[in-house]
Structure 1
Amino acid sequence: MSTFDDRENAFEAKFAHDEEMQFKAQARCNKMLGLWAAGLLGKTGADADAYALEVIKADFEEAGFEDVLRKVSGDLKGRASPDEVRDKRAALLPEAKADILNDKA
């Protein structure tokens, strides 16, 4: 294999790794957002965990965050505005990325 092939394979592997880490961070952030929203809804324990899983699943409806925003904002109905949900997610994303980098589940 040539040096060029080695470099190409390394770039492809790095890209795949970076995409996987981004996906995990987004899922972790959605879980954290779901747990936050569950608290506002008065859910605890297994109910809160189940709601967080619903939020994670909502992210698969379409690309981007809007599907999660619609779900959480719709469920919170007056407990938090869409802007508050958006701000909370923005605040949670760096924490989620740090958790993933530190290999926390």
Structure 2
Amino acid sequence: MTTFDDRQTAFENKFAHDADLQFKVAARRDKLVGLWAATQLGHDGEAADAYARSIVIADLEEAGDEDVVRKLVADLAGAGIDEAAIRAQLALAATEARRQIMDSM
């Protein structure tokens, strides 16, 4: 292989690694925000875990965060939690998720 081929392979590997890392962080973030929302709804134990899984699955519907935000807004409307609070919690959960994933590597 030439040096160019080696560089190309290295870039492809880095891209794949970064995409995998981004997916793991997003899934962990969704689980964390799902657990937070579950507590807001009064769920605990297995019910909270099931609700968190439903948030992770909701994020697979379309690209971006809007599918998760829509679900959380709809679910938490009765609890008096608005979209701004949900987006703030998503940001906090993203930071914590990244920290947890990086610590586990």
Identity among equivalent pairs (%): 50
Cα deviations across residues 68-103 of structure 1 (Å, max 9, x unaligned)? 001111011142101100011011111100111111
Cα deviations across residues 21-67 of structure 1 (Å, max 9, x unaligned)? 00100010000000000000000000000000000000011110000
Q: Which residue of 1 aligns with 2:62?
A: 62
Q: Which residue of 2 aligns with 1:94?
A: 95
Say if 2:37 is the partner of 1:37. Answer: yes
In structure 2, list runs of 5 or more residues that go unmatched: none
Q: 4+ runs of 1 displaced by more than 4 Å?
A: none
Q: Which residue of 1 aligns with 2:21?
A: 21
- What's the secondary structure of 2:43's corresponding residue? coil
Q: Which residue of 2 aligns with 1:71?
A: 71
Aligned residues: 104
Cα RMSD over matched residues?
1.0
Q: Which residue of 1 aligns with 2:48?
A: 48
- The one-letter amino acid of 1:27's match is A
Hey, what's the Cα distance between the residues in 1 that align with 2:6 and 2:51?
A: 45
Hey, what's the Cα distance between the residues in 1 that align with 2:103 and 2:20?
A: 15
- The one-letter amino acid of 1:25's match is V
